[in-house]
Chains A and B, each alone.
Chain A
Amino acid sequence: MRWIWIDTFIDFEPGRRASAIKNVTLAEECLRDHFPGYAVFPPSLMIEGMAQTAGILAGEARGFSENVILAKIRKARFDDYARPGDRLRYDAVLESIDDRGAVAGGRVYLNDREIGQIDLMFSHVAAGGAYPDIPESGFVFTEQFMSLLAGFRGSRAGKERER
């Protein structure tokens, strides 16, 4: 299956903030069992969606030169849950970034109403040293992540951003 938990970027300010949408659909494989008869979008996948939003923001900030790995969920609070037909929005703000890693703060919105906070810490993992098996070339920013960013840049909102 494709492990992509955001559908599109609606805003992307390099090095600073990004906003991505996830439309919840009854066709998601995971909703069959979560839960039978009453589909609830798993909060763990909201965390993953925020991690992908913030991770691409962090990666782009340094030219995708490093493997950006989610290292710690500093905070994850949810005041409500999402169901098929709902639209989730992840707003991520890059608080700091350097050779060691990045810190991002995030807010989750359900149909434009704030329902949660997800704060994350990423580690920049390089080949060699503590991780001898890591390939020399990056493995995090696959074509499907890069195409999300290219999609935003090609969109009307993306072109507005560039002006």
Chain B
Amino acid sequence: MEESKGMADSHDEVFAKVQDLLSDALGVDTEEVSPDSTLQGDLGAESIDLLDIVFRLEKSFSIKIPKGELFPDDLLNNPEYVDGDRISSAGVEKLKEAMPHADFSRFESDPSVARVPELFTVRTIVNYVEGKLAAA
């Protein structure tokens, strides 16, 4: 079966490929992978799975994912952005800047460190991939 080429992938095609890919990477049925499923909470992803997901996305869509572009990895270490168990307003702004592909509407009402993984949903990945394909 031929890999679909960049721009030709419709939204449904991108979602279907991401769904299959996440199902393989995380060992879950494709039916469990819906747009709002969170990688960690709903699908059981652990940190090492994020690297696996990046490798699979690069291969499946022929894109390059620079370090930290899909999953920002060093914001939580910066004291300017974290205040105890909460993300500061500067931190929320920085996160939004780093993740234009994520939906912050639910996060903003209670921006705790523990809730950051909720930003990583299937939809977040689909949005990111579509952005990369459109820019290619």
Contacts and interface: CB of A to CB of B under 8 A. Distances in A.
A121 B51 CA distance: 9
A107 B28 CA distance: 24
Contacts, number: 26
Contacts of B54: 100
Contacts of A72: 48-49, 51-52
Instruction: Say what secondary structure dominates the interface of chain A.
Output: strand
A161 interface: no
Q: How large is the interface on B (under 10, 10 to 19, 20 to 34, 35 or more residues)?
A: 10 to 19
A131 to B, nearest CB: 13
B55 interface: yes
A15 interface: no
6 contacts: A71-B48, A72-B51, A72-B52, A101-B55, A103-B55, A121-B52
Given A74-B24, A123-B51, 17 more contacts: A71-B48, A71-B51, A72-B48, A72-B52, A74-B25, A74-B52, A95-B59, A96-B59, A100-B54, A100-B55, A100-B67, A101-B51, A103-B55, A121-B48, A121-B51, A121-B52, A121-B55
